[in-house]
Amino acid sequence: MGSMGRRSPFESDGETGFDTSRKSGGTTQPARLRGVELAGQLPPPPSSARRDRGWEKDRRSDGYCQVGYRHVPVEARDRIKAIAGEWFVPADEVGRLLLEAGLAAFERGEVVIAPTLEAGKLTLFPEKVKK
């Protein structure tokens, strides 16, 4: 049995019939560097650098910020999304409009806040307090 020696990866493998080298100017150059081609198609590794939040900080200075409120009923969220869909505007803008309108109505005295003591705490929605 003959021993198999090392062979150049840039020569024809004999099985596929592809010639993986070509002559150019008297030197042999690889026609296809498969590893290099595959490496060029891979995405870069994820960066461990922290994100630059400068854009967000700059935008906060003009009086707007992102907020979230807990215990907003799913029905209210769905109604806001439905209104946004009807008018083809973002849902957050509909929410903002309704919040500002509610604040204006409160300041005009059209909305009255009357908390009730339920389960040891003040609430505006006594029927929703879990016992």
Q: What is the pLDDT of residue 29?
A: 46
Which residue(s) pair with 43 in the sheet? none
Write the pLDDT tens digit of every residue in 6-28: 766 666 555 555 555 555 454 45
7-11, 22-26, 65-69, 73-77, range with greatest mean pLDDT:
73-77
Write the pLDDT tens digit of every residue in 92-121: 999 999 999 999 999 999 999 999 998 888
CA angle 14, 20, 23 (to 5 degrees): 120
Q: What is the 3-state secondary structure (H, E, C) of 83-116?
A: HHHHHCCCHHHHHHHHHHHHHHHHHCCCCCCCCE
* Residue length of the chain: 131
Write the pLDDT tens digit of every residue in 44-59: 777 777 877 777 777 6
Q: What is the pLDDT of residue 30?
A: 53
**Integer Cα distance of 123 and 71 in angstroms:** 12
Write the pLDDT tens digit of every residue in 25-48: 544 545 555 556 666 777 777 777
B/e letters for 98-118, b = 16+ CB within 10 Å, e = fewer, are: eeeeeeeeeeeeeeeeeeeeb
pTM for the model: 0.49
How many Cβ atoms sit within 10 Å of the Cβ of residue 12? Answer: 13
